[in-house]
């Protein structure tokens, strides 16, 4: 009985009807004929109220709902959530749906009103865009069902306390994986790259057969065997590609609610997946004032899952990043010549110049790409039409910082280091383009 009472809720129509009947009774004090009308309305109201309660509660499970969630949500993307509704009553009903979404989304209006036919069903679809990795807890799914005059509602509660992890953008990874291996590259801004040369590695020595390239003749082996021998080569595929992710304080800077660290993590997942598909070995190193996660570059089964789990656990640290430590670690541990994609950020040429010697050390043994971020807020400030001395001052400072970013890129080029200067939202596209460009040129 207590359960039944706790699941009864009165609608606005109920209270409007009560107020109207009370008003009729007040008027009945002045006009006796209205008093009998008020009594009839009260009786009719109570009768319909009882009928509606009986109709709603006579079937123990007259309504069913189910929230359909993915196993994990993709960070920075629109993730589709579905709510399946099923009316098991033999009459049409009206449902108010309230979904308790995780508090991180700060959604105040996650509710819908739907009408369902007798024994009918419907599906509601909505999207959530998380901007932080971690666990998100969904609360209960509440359904308030009414019928006929909609004077009273019966509450149903489903799917209590479900927790879903938010991982780096695997939706973006799948999208760009398809684009990088299809004929629809331009639709996503990915440039087609024509392969200009080939990087070859030795496979074996074999006897010459007609059609073999004379330039591959191995004269020493031919002399020993007294027959013409040639070197056989194959395309060198298993290059190492490392994403180096800076977790220092500058990577905490947010753009469109997503931090630079999360933009870097999403782009790393995409590019490392494409590298694996291209036959290269993918690895990950994250760092700040000390070394953090390290996933050795490999291409064996399960490598992408290991990278995904490592990226999921990354958190920004608030110390200055130690590039000397990073350089020493790579010098000791990464022996094979590799492509290093370093995601970091520098707001001034002075801070960059202190780290340039360590970049030079890395570039001597590896192909280094330094990824820098444009400050879109400064770009907007530069284009404004100043209307006061203070605005002119701000615009001048903005110009200075933007110029310093371009000077950093120039310094990198002078030292034979590749660079990407990009808006945060264009990071993934520009990183893919640079990787495909170097791949086509035979640099990696």
Three-state SS for 46?
A: helix
Residue 410 makes CB contacts below 8 A (sequence gap 6+) with: none
pTM for the model stands at 0.80
pLDDT of 49 over the 50 cut: yes
pLDDT at residue 133, as a whole number: 92
**Is residue 323 a contact partner of residue 289, using CB atoms and an 8 Å limit?**
no
pLDDT of 188 over the 60 cut: no
pLDDT digits (tens, 9 = 90+) for 216-272: 788 888 888 788 888 776 555 578 999 999 998 889 888 888 999 999 999 999 999
Three-state SS for 78?
A: coil
| Same fold yes or no, 1-167 and 170-195+237-440 | no
Residue with the larger pLDDT of the pair 188 and 338: 338
Q: How confident is the model at residue 207 (pLDDT cuts 50, 70, 90)?
A: confident
Average pLDDT, the chain: 86
Task: Kindly list the domain boundaries of the chain, sorted by start residue.
Answer: 1-167, 170-195+237-440, 201-235
Q: How confident is the model at residue 196 (pLDDT cuts 50, 70, 90)?
A: very low
Q: How confident is the model at residue 200 (pLDDT cuts 50, 70, 90)?
A: low
CA nearest to 341, candidates 444, 419, 410: 419
Report how far residue 373's alpha carbon sits from residue 405's, in angstroms, rounded to the nearest whole number: 9
pLDDT at residue 237, as a whole number: 55
pLDDT digits (tens, 9 = 90+) for 372-422: 998 877 776 767 777 777 777 777 887 888 888 899 999 999 999 999 999
pLDDT of 150 over the 50 cut: yes
**Is residue 152 a contact partner of residue 53, using CB atoms and an 8 Å limit?**
yes
Report how far residue 387's alpha carbon sits from residue 408's, in angstroms, rounded to the nearest whole number: 31
Q: Tell me, letter by letter, the H, E, C secondary structure of 148-217.
A: CCCCEEEEEEECCCEEEEEECCHHHHHHHHHHHCCCCHHHHCCCCCCCCCCCEEEEEEEECCCCCCHHHE
CA nearest to 286, candidates 274, 278, 295: 295
pLDDT digits (tens, 9 = 90+) for 349-376: 888 999 999 999 999 999 999 999 988 7
pLDDT at residue 197, as a whole number: 44
* Superfamily name with CATH number, domain 170-195+237-440: von Willebrand factor, type A domain (3.40.50.410)
Question: What would be the CATH architecture of the domain defined by 1-167?
Answer: Sandwich (2.60)
């Amino acid at each position: 009985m207590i359960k039944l009472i706790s699941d009864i809720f009165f609608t606005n129509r109920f209270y409007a009807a009560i107020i109207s009947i009370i008003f009729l009774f007040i008027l009945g004090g002045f006009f006796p004929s209205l008093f009998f009308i008020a009594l009839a309305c009260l009786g009719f109201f109570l009768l319909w109220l009882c009928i509606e309660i009986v109709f709603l509660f006579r079937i123990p499970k007259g309504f069913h709902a189910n929230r359909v969630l993915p196993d994990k949500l993709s960070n920075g993307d629109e993730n589709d959530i579905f709510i399946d509704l099923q009316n098991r009553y033999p009459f049409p009903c009206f449902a108010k749906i309230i979904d308790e979404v995780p508090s991180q989304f700060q959604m105040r209006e996650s509710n819908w009103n739907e009408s369902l036919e007798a024994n009918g069903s419907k599906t509601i679809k909505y999207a959530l865009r998380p901007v932080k990795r971690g666990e998100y807890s969904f609360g209960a799914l509440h359904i308030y069902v009414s019928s006929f005059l909609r004077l009273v509602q019966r509450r149903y509660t489903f799917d209590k306390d479900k927790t879903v992890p938010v991982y780096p953008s695997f939706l973006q990874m799948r999208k760009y994986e398809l684009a990088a291996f299809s004929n629809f590259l331009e639709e996503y801004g990915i440039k087609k790259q024509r392969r200009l040369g080939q990087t070859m590695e030795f496979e074996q020595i074999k006897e010459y057969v007609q059609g073999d390239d004379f330039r591959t003749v191995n004269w020493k082996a031919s002399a020993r065997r007294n027959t013409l021998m040639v070197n056989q080569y194959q395309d060198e595929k298993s290059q190492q590609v490392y994403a180096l992710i800076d977790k220092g304080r500058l990577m905490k800077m947010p753009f469109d609610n997503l931090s630079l660290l999360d933009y870097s993590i999403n782009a790393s997942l995409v590019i490392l997946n494409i590298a694996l598909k291209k036959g290269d070995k993918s690895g990950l190193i994250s760092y700040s004032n000390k070394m953090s996660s390290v996933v050795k570059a490999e291409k064996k089964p399960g490598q992408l899952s290991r990278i995904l789990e490592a990226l999921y656990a990354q958190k920004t640290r608030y110390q200055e990043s130690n590039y000397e430590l990073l350089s020493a670690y790579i010098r000791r541990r990464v022996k094979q010549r590799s492509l290093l994609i370093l995601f970091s950020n520098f707001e001034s040429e002075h801070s960059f110049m202190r780290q340039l010697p360590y970049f030079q050390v890395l570039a001597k043994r590896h192909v280094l790409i330094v990824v820098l971020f444009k400050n879109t807020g400064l770009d907007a400030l530069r284009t404004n039409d100043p209307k006061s001395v203070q605005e002119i001052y701000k615009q001048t400072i903005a110009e200075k910082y933007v110029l310093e970013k371009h000077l950093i890129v120039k310094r990198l080029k002078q030292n034979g280091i590749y660079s990407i200067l990009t808006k945060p939202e264009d990071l993934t596209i520009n990183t893919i383009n640079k990787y495909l460009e170097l791949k086509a040129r035979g640099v990696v």
